[in-house]
């Protein structure tokens, strides 16, 4: 079958847009092929800084013929209806239609429409221009007198179609004065001449000969391998950076890896500052000394050309720029060290955190108060927590963080250590932001834990108080990330926190005297304060706990927990203590893996289903105490006593947080439930006996509520 080769050759495409562009091109073309009845065998998209390419293999030579029956009006219908039918079906007269008999609805005219398939190359000539004109670049531009919008000026289009064993045809189309052809160009500097290409393999090979590596994955591999080898040859090891690697691979078509150096005096700057400076300004990698683990005064750059001098001028140019940038960074760092962190704090009173939540200074005060309250709960020294909470945001006003915002927190740690702060206080300045994502580490030092929880809970309670909750996919204040951060800190450190109490108390702080919401001037923020008197404001802790429950579901599912077990536990309204929820889910999962667990679940579901049906039919709820005087059969008595014993034992086990014991207590019900359903007729003839037996079934349901809502468990 024929293959399609498409290349869109332009000026440099921004590296950040390349991967998405390749995916979009592949999807747009292949979706339209399938819609046109041209089912293909495979597709490959490639992208370089100057070209976006797609190869689609195994496209049929032509569309399949279509045979369709079009139903028309009834026989004897008005003339206009008949005329409309003939026109839509492409018939000259009713003689070309057939009559279909329908015993119920009468006779109808039917037209048999046969539509022969078109050559695939003609279909492509319609599809490809549409793809080019409607391509979804995040940002586009126009140039010259043309009307086409593209990410950068588009120079040429390659579009060939044909079997691999033959010379392909050029797909005939034109977009904004650019006519598709079978010619492209190689590397801008090393091989700029025109190249005639045929099929995909021929295209890739000829580009390689013209100093263009078309596959971005291969460019990344080349850069990474050669950078590692070059560093190793000099006795160093590469500090790998996947984000930078992806970006650099999107900046070059022919990667050439070189090494430069900088003055060792700059190593007095923290390693992270050096790395951020070199990465941000020159897109270069740094290397470390494997013996010390510290950075070495070297860097690795990736050039897009093979220079006649071996790259000496390129390296020298990068060294000059990096020297100047590191000199700036050294000045910023040394300037920052001259001012103590606490001396920066007054400026926060002039910086608004949020118009309804006050200034940064007020927020820092709230975090400090909450962190001190949390300190004994997490085993942290109160005074260290108080100091850490006071200083944790101070580095936001430093020169280095102003230049490199990604270093916030980390620089706070360095500055705290430099001014003689306790190591736990310094660590908390960095770690109170963590975890910032699923791959980020969780703080383990008690001081860091207290400040990190306070920071995140203040954010959540504050935005809940002013009703700025996440909606749909929108979460401008990263509240979902904050909630997941709280959950991970609590679970991975085995913390016992009554979140409802903590959030409710902190809400009172925000609405009460001191550094609170009401301290703001009149205006929109005052309106938010007045909302505290409304009933909706009182429900903030409950609403926030429901949000934590939803985030916990996500977290547990990602760890492999069954969603129905999580729902069964959360249905008991026990989400105040996250650690207990997880332990209960784990115990429930182990119990349901046993035969007793599976059979008890089946029995509980049977009891629940019978109750649901009978309650719906009778219009009443069968709850309340079972009348022992109405128990007729031995199996009823045995189940009655087993429910009382199991429920008491399970509730006692839950009270002492021994969920495994609670599950074992539930397991004792299993033989009695089985025997009851085997030998006892629930719907007895006597109405009082029937009602009593239904209440007994409700007792089964109520007993299992000590550990979970079994009705929510699948299976």
* Domains (range + CATH), the chain: 3-61+120-209 (3.30.70), 66-115 (no CATH), 216-337 (no CATH), 356-560 (1.10.3210), 583-712 (1.10.730.10)
- Give me the percent of the chain exceeding a pLDDT of 70: 96
Q: Which of 42-56, 164-178, 499-513 has the lowest mean pLDDT?
A: 499-513
Q: Distance (Å, rounded) from C-alpha 425 to C-alpha 417?
A: 9
Band the pLDDT of 68: cuts 50, 70, 90: confident
186 vs 571: which has the higher pLDDT = 186
Q: How many CB atoms sit inside 10 A of residue 109's CB? A: 22
At residue 334, the pLDDT reads 96
Is the pLDDT confidence value at 433 over 70? yes
Q: Give residue 704's pLDDT.
A: 83
Within 10 Å of residue 279's Cβ, how many Cβ atoms? Answer: 20
Does the pLDDT of residue 77 top 80, yes or no? yes
- Predicted confidence at residue 317, as pLDDT, reads 97
- According to the model, what pLDDT value does residue 512 have? 61
Other CB atoms within a 10 A radius of the CB of residue 26 amount to 17
Q: Is 75 exposed, middle or buried (0-12, 13-18, 19+ CB in 10 A)?
A: middle
Instruction: Determine the Cα angle at 575 with ends 704 and 698, to 5°.
Output: 20
Q: Do the strands 194-196 and 174-175 form a parallel or antiparallel pair, or are they unpaired?
A: unpaired
45 forms bridges with which residues in the sheet? 54
Between residues 71 and 491, the one the model is more confident about: 491
Q: Report residue 261: phi and psi, to 5°.
A: -140, 165
Classify residue 303 as exposed, middle or buried by CB count within 10 Å of its CB (0-12, 13-18, 19+).
Answer: middle
Q: Among 213-227, 285-299, 534-548, which is the least confidently predicted range?
A: 534-548
pLDDT digits (tens, 9 = 90+) for 666-697: 888 888 888 988 888 888 888 898 998 898 88
In this predicted structure, the answer to whether residue 526 has a pLDDT above a threshold of 60 is no
Lowest mean pLDDT among 16-30, 79-93, 424-438, 495-509: 79-93
Place of tokens 């801008």: 188
Q: Is the pLDDT of residue 575 over 90?
A: no
DSSP category for residue 572: T
Q: What is the mean pLDDT of the chain?
A: 90
Its pTM stands at 0.79
38 vs 70: which has the higher pLDDT: 38
Distance between CA 146 and CA 339 in Å, rounded?
57
359 pLDDT above the threshold of 70: yes
Average pLDDT value for residue range 430-452: 94
pLDDT single digits (tens) 549-570: 888 888 888 888 888 888 888 8
The DSSP symbol for 568 reads: H
User: CB-based contacts of 501: which residues, under 8 Å, 6+ apart?
Assistant: 576
Segment 491-497 mean pLDDT = 92
Neighbouring residues of 182: CB distance < 8 A, sequence distance ≥ 6: 158, 160, 168, 170, 196, 197, 198
Query: Predicted confidence band at 265 (pLDDT cuts at 50, 70, 90)?
Result: very high
Task: Provide the 8-state DSSP code for 471.
Answer: B
Residue 65 pLDDT exceeds 50: yes
Residue 289 banded pLDDT, cuts 50, 70, 90: very high
Q: Kindly provide the b/e burial profile for residues 552-585, where b requires at least 16 CB atoms within 10 angstroms of the residue's own CB.
A: bbebbeeeebbeebbbbbbeeeebbbbebbbbbb
Positive or negative torsion for Cα 633, 634, 640, 643? negative
pLDDT at 533: 42
On the question of pLDDT at 391 being above 90, the answer is yes
Q: What's the whole-number mean pLDDT along residues 448-471?
A: 94
531 pLDDT band, cuts 50/70/90, is very low
Q: What are phi and psi of 54, to 5 degrees?
A: -145, 135
CA dist 614 → 77, 618, 621, 642, 691 (Å): 55, 6, 9, 24, 10
Please check the confidence at residue 113 and state whether its pLDDT lies above 90.
no
Assign 79 to helix, strand or coil: helix
Whether residue 119 is preceded by a cis peptide bond, meaning omega within 30 degrees of 0, is: no
Q: In which band, very low, low, confident or very high, does the pLDDT at 521 lie, cut at 50, 70 and 90?
A: very low
Residue 520 has pLDDT above 60, yes or no: no
Those residues whose C-beta lies under 8 Å from the C-beta of residue 485, and which sit 6 or more positions away, are 434, 435, 436, 452, 456
Whether pLDDT at 708 is above 70: yes
Q: What is the DSSP string of 575-621?
A: TT-HHHHHHHHHHHHHHHTSHHHHHHHHHHHHHHHHHHHHHHHHTS-
Model pLDDT for residues 147-198, shown as the tens digit of each residue:
999 999 999 999 999 998 889 999 999 999 999 999 999 999 999 999 999 9
Distance CA 327, CA 321 (A): 10
Structure tokens belonging to residue 695 = 């209440």
- End-to-end CA distance of the chain, in Å? 49
């Amino acid at each position: 079958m024929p293959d399609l080769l498409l290349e869109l050759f332009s000026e440099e495409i921004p590296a950040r847009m390349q991967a998405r562009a390749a995916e979009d091109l592949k999807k747009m073309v292949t979706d339209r092929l399938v819609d046109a009845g041209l089912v293909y065998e495979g597709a490959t998209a490639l992208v370089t800084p100057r070209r976006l390419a797609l190869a689609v293999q195994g496209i049929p030579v032509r569309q399949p013929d279509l045979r369709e029956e079009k139903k028309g009006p009834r026989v004897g219908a008005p003339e206009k209806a008949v005329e409309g039918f003939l026109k839509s079906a492409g018939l000259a007269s009713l003689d070309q239609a057939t009559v279909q008999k329908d015993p119920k609805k009468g006779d109808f005219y039917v037209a048999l429409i046969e539509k022969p398939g078109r050559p695939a190359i003609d279909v492509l000539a319609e599809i490809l221009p549409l793809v080019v004109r409607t391509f979804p670049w995040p940002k586009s531009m126009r140039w010259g007198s043309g009307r086409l919008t593209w990410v950068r000026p588009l120079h040429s289009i390659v579009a060939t179609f044909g079997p691999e064993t033959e010379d392909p045809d050029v797909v005939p189309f034109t977009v904004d004065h650019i006519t598709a052809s079978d010619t492209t160009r190689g590397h801008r500097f090393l091989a700029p001449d025109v190249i005639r290409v045929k099929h995909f393999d021929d295209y890739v090979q000829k580009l390689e000969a013209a100093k263009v590596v078309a596959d971005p994955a291969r460019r990344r591999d080349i850069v990474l391998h050669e950078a590692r080898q070059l560093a190793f040859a000099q006795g160093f090891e590469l500090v790998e950076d996947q984000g930078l690697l992806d970006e650099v691979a999107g900046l070059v078509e022919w990667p050439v890896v070189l090494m430069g150096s900088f003055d060792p005096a700059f190593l007095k700057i923290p390693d992270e500052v050096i790395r951020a400076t070199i990465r941000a300004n020159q897109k270069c990698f740094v290397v470390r000394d494997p013996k010390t683990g510290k950075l070495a005064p070297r860097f690795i750059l990736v050039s897009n050309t093979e220079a006649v001098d071996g790259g000496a001028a390129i390296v020298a140019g990068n060294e000059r720029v990096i020297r100047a940038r590191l000199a700036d960074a050294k000045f910023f760092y040394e300037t920052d060290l001259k001012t103590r962190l606490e001396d920066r704090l007054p400026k926060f009173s002039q910086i608004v955190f949020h118009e309804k939540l006050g200034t940064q200074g007020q927020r820092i005060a709230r975090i400090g108060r909450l962190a001190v309250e949390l300190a004994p709960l997490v085993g942290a020294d109160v005074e260290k927590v108080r100091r850490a909470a006071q200083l944790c945001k101070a580095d936001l006003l430093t020169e280095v963080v102003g230049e490199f915002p990604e270093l916030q927190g980390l620089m706070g740690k360095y500055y705290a250590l430099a001014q003689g702060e306790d190591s736990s206080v310094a660590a908390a300045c960095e770690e109170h932001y963590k975890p910032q994502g699923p791959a980020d580490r969780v703080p383990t030092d008690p001081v860091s834990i207290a400040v990190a929880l306070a920071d995140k809970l203040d954010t959540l309670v504050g935005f809940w108080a002013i009703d700025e909750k996440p909606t749909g996919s929108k979460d401008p204040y990263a509240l979902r990330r904050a909630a997941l951060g709280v959950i991970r800190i609590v679970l991975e450190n085995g913390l016992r926190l009554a979140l409802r109490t903590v959030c409710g108390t902190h809400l009172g702080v925000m609405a009460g005297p001191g550094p609170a919401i009401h301290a703001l001037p009149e205006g929109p923020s005052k309106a938010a304060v007045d909302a505290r008197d409304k009933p909706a404001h009182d429900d903030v802790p409950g609403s926030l706990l429901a949000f934590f429950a939803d985030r916990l579901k996500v977290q547990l599912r990602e760890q492999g927990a069954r969603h129905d077990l999580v729902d069964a536990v959360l249905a008991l309204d026990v989400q105040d203590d996250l650690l207990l929820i997880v332990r209960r889910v784990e115990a429930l999962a182990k119990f349901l893996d046993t035969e007793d667990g599976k059979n008890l679940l089946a029995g509980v579901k049977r009891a629940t289903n019978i109750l649901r049906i009978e309650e719906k039919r009778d219009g009443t709820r069968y709850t309340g105490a079972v009348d022992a005087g109405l128990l007729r059969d031995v199996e009823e008595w045995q189940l009655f006593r087993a429910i009382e014993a199991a429920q008491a034992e399970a509730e006692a086990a839950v009270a002492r947080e021994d969920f495994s014991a609670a599950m074992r207590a539930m397991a004792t019900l299993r033989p009695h439930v089985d025997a009851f359903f085997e030998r006892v007729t629930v719907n007895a003839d006597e109405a009082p006996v029937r009602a009593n037996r239904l209440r007994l079934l409700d007792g089964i349901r109520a007993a299992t509520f000590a550990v979970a809502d079994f009705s929510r468990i699948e299976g």
